[in-house]
Structure 1
């Protein structure tokens, strides 16, 4: 519009210059013709008055148009400076990730206008108008001292700029609220995980049900968060400021339109009030962010203190556990040493006793021994039979154990193969999911680019249509006005030509008269003077008429030149309209191509979605198979079940994340349709979600590796347990005293652990209360978020109303411009009509007086206009200086706020990282607590079972020991009586016994009791035989080893019988107190144990693993 107004100005100025009707020339012409008015004919006077009126009206219209153009140029310069300052502020506030958005900026109406070199330097980005070549050399023609004209509508463009600025602030608030809600959801998720882990002692089915419920709640929460994140979040101050702006705009609409001099002042006041409200709003937002930051720091400190307390308690528990283990090991070592010492002392005592008994009554001993050997031979045969049965039973047990071990190894190999196969399948599914997600992301990016291109092309097309229609309308109006002026000038030329013809005819008639008068000179000497004077007057008139005729010819040539230029311009406009039509056709073709691409991309997206669904179905089938196999594996191994459950949870989290991605992409597509300028924010969100996905996938990979490592460790532990079982089959149990002491120590430790566990439960309850408080706070925050959403919706409605009001204002502006044009045309027409009406009958003096009055009135109007212009310029300069100062202050404050926002963002990130690390630490601590509780319960159950079995064993041992002692006493009494009669054959029986003993040593592994029974009788013949037997016994004990099962059992029974039940034996008669055979029979009966007692002890005593393994 400004360009076309400047063209009109140029045309008017050329017309006025061509006609040379300036104010000074008018004055000179009037002053020259004033003294001769009385002598002019009425036609000439009328013609002069018409010409003067035309020149005055043209001059007035040119001046008024110049004033309007200057005012519009001032308005445009003010709006441009404000738009440039707001763009700079917006670019400084916006983050660097939104720099790409400048290339996709919307086409504005100011892009069609000219721009000087200074204004180009101020541009933050170049416009995208196809109608202008900004690097063309012809732009220098329009660079002049006056400001570039602009249409009167454009002073409201700043509302749009402010709206964009408000939209950017909305985006920042949205991002902060989304991060806050994400943190809340993560806190809720981890709190639920902790509650779920606290109930780890329940059954596996209950655990699975709870985990599935927690996953469902997570998905619902994420969906709620996505639904809430789609709506914009704004502060209450923004709603207040926008309502105030709407009220002001409504009041402006209701009030009558102010004069053009007051419009920029009102706009400046509105802009200053808007800037102040934005400043207040930003301060309020900073205060809110600081409060949230302080709250987050307090929560972080509390969590850090709790984590440190839990660490200290776990350290104390670990130290106490290590101390207990060390004490138990030291106690075992001391007991082993004491046993060795006792055995050495007993061996020495037995040797001393043997040496003393050999020196005494060797004959009686030999006789008694010969009698007793026959009976012992029978006992040995029976005992050998029992030993062979025991050995067979042991072999059967070892075979069964080996078969069980082989079955376990095969089952373990199967499990390993199944697990490896499942892991490979999971990796394949994950890779396929990753590929599908990558493809989906690429296609979504392509779709976004295509949608952005379509939106840009549609915008350009609409702008081109609107601008082309405006240009065509303007040129049509201009052509009509020019045609009217040409017709009027043609009529004037025709009138002038007629008048010139009349003047020529009059000149001919006058010349004829002069000839006639010259012929009559002689006759009329008296009238000669009068005729001479009249002749001179006529010559002067002719000269003047010739000058006027020349002026009219010049005017005619100028008008023809102007008509030629206008025809050239019309041709140029027709060419431009053709180019516009061609571009419009090209844009329609491009839009059709883009629509085809969109359809193809949509089909590809549908195919990918189908593939994604198929992958999901396959994944669900795999999950079902995993569940079935996990149920089968639960009976064999609880640890493998836990790992599979964790894998299921990770896969559920993957599916939830994928659903979140899908929801986010759908929301992004919807927001791209509604908000054209939020593409960069959505891209940043997508990148952030991708980063979170990559981090989640990395975490899942790490967790998978950890689970794999744990599974390997569990397998190693199982192998170690199998080996420990094999070793435990050969190892012996700890003695009763050691068990009692260990039970006491364990009971004390259990009491301590119970106390610590109670303390930990109290602390955990306090932590639960804190989590409830955090949940309540999060609910309050959600309610506030919903309120903000409602306010945002109200604000959007207000913005739509403001847009409608802006459209109304634009229509009003168009109406005003048309009214101004019609008024100007009416003024010219009325001036011409008034001149014809007035000068039809009045005299020349009246006409001159009226012309003088009109010129004086025009001078006064011009002076007033100049004065008002000067005042307006001074006021505008003052206002501009004030605005520049205020804008500098605002820029400094906004920079400070931007720096504070960056600092808050960094602190927020650090808080999030600290919270995540501490949550991991808390999870580890909770795992340790669960393991400790499980260990304590298992230890308690083992202690109860051990005590029960010990009581039963002791009772059975007492019964069997008493019965066996009675039988052995009877047998020994009979053997002592028979040994007195059969002392002669002792030597042969002893030799036979030595041979039998050597056979027993080679054949049996557990016959040490017989050697001990027979060892005291082998020393009858002499010290040499005793030494041989002792060497054989030592060699046999070394071959068996110190940790053999049978030796330890025999030692335990010897200690129990000798230490506890020796008092129950009957008193030895005085005759037999010195008898060597009686003593040896008693000792051998003490060492004897029936088969049933050994088997019951073997099967009833539970396996007791070392403390280190527990």
Structure 2
């Protein structure tokens, strides 16, 4: 894949996130908790996007490492083929050397004659050339061709005896210098490789320690559960303290929430910076890998060209240098890989810490949602209780008012009858006065009782007003808590998905560690093979001159195979690029769909918020109307109290006047006339009272008319309640159908029949049976989940046992490897001994050269004495052949050691494969258990919500509602939340 397309995809979701963040900001000062929760959800979305980007980058790094591994495997195969070709050429050269050595032996013995002493003046005309291991002096001046480097002594004739001796001397010096130089190079290479062996062992030990530490660590699920439990306890205590301080320190809590929002914003900015840094690091890694790949390709091409030059020159020294360069390049690549592995391990640790933080935040949100649910239930119970008390108070007040009105009417009728009797019969004045006194006393008692009743009514009205205030507060709290609960559920689902993704990321990182271990082992094998090839080259340095034709043919074959491989690689790259383009298009389509879904979700949230605000405005208006009615009633009560006081004063005056009349009746009729005059005045006052009573009757009729209107509204609300209950029934049916995949017969047995909505008791009973069926289904699923958890625990125990067995096997393998290291050290010591023997042989060769110089002048006289010296030379060559045989024996031992190490590595690979298969099974089981837990939690929340709604409706199925607007709003809110939950459940 192309890195530019990947970077475009990285930039695209960031812009989308910024647009989503701008749309989701709602400047509503009345709901700070809603804005806080929405900001938290936005931040969690950004975290999810960053984690997805990092997972994509890690997948890409994994692919690049896989490609690099394939490339190194191809290089190893090429080195193996080169080694095989070199072995064949060495065998061919050894055969040629044996043939030439036998031919040279016979020629040297057959060409010794007495005529070799002649022509001694030929030495004066000869020019002896200097010796150098890198230049050919055979073609200069004399036209003689330089001898090959095969170690064979020949004496052709007497004229060329001295020339043959000098050529032999020159070849011996060339061989000596070449051998010294190659020995020094090999010693340096051995020292450098020993250092690299030590470094690779250290890195392997570090990697093994990291792997053991990661294996010894507790599983992530147990750590997360323990941490979440601790966070739940802390959140409970903190929630209790906050609930006590909430009403007293509301502005302080607002400032604290703002501070928390600022902290979260700073954390998000910090995480965004970290994400950008990671992207830069990954881009640098990709560029480094590309440059390394290009360098490797250039190195391969350079190796091909160098091989051609070497075949043209047939120079062993250049081949050794090129091999050194390739080995050094491999070492550099190995160090780069080690650095990258360390960086990836550090990145993995940092991401695990971020995962733990996110899981802590998830648990905090879960605890908040649970506390919000409990507070919702408590507030609903308080709301129902306050409504019931308000209805009781209202009914009692109405009954008391009716009773006092009837009493007042009775007293007025009696008073009117007494007045009529006083007109008709003056003789009964005394009795009427007595009755009037009794009636006045009764009126005073009735007025006192009326005043007490009015005081009680005012007190009850004050209680009703307080209940209304509490109801409004509980409504607002219910709305905010429901919104918080909804958003907490959404964030919980998102975080569960993120946890699953993080588990998959951890599995991928573990697989990457296993791959890196395998890669290190492969590099060790390649290094061993290179050492083997160096040993072979050291043995075949003297015999490569005769392999020109074979190597040229093989080079042509290699070139043809290389062209085929390049064609295949080009085709594979084209296929990979096409696949990358397809994946990029699919990714863009998925991103567009995801952005569209987020837009629709935001629009739905905004519509819900608008509906809630409209309902709150309606409730506010109704509350203001009720408060205005209460004020009117209070003003009327004040007017009635003033009238009562005026009447009380008038009654007091009447008492005094009645006393005066009784005194005056006994004295004279004039007083009786005055009493009649006062009687007329009292009659006028009674007319005024009658008018006032008529006005009160008119007010009562208007109140009854308003009560009838309220009853009509209650009936309308009852119809709305029936429609809402019908919708709830349909939603319950949909939930039952969703859960009735395995038990369709049970669902058909409990389905609703038409016409049941009229009978509320039967409908509630059937809904209750359905909810019980849902609970049973949930219990069955929980039992399945428990069984799966048990199996998962068994798998974990098996995994622990397998880990222990594999640790023991690894320990045994490490012991074997240490033994093999000791064997390698022994072999190296033997090799050094062989090198010392070679140096001794070189010293002997130098002595031989000195002796050849001394005996060159006396060759004509002492040719018979020089024959045994030449025989000693041949014996020295035989010693060299014996040392070569010993070297071959060492190589055979090394081959056996290689077979043993290969078997051990095969066993290690099989054990790693079994461990990986078991990890895959464990991950599948964990994913299934997580899916089951999410499904059961959603079903349990829905069933709890439905049981709460059905219980609340069952408590008052046919009672007329005191605040119909409140009940309708609550039912509408429950219905909307239930619909939202069901739609989310169906989408899942």
Higher Rg of the two aligned structures: 1
- With the shorter chain as reference, the TM-score category is 0.3 to 0.5
- Greater relative contact order (CA < 8 Å, ≥ 6 in sequence): 1
Q: TM-score, normalised by structure 2?
A: 0.35
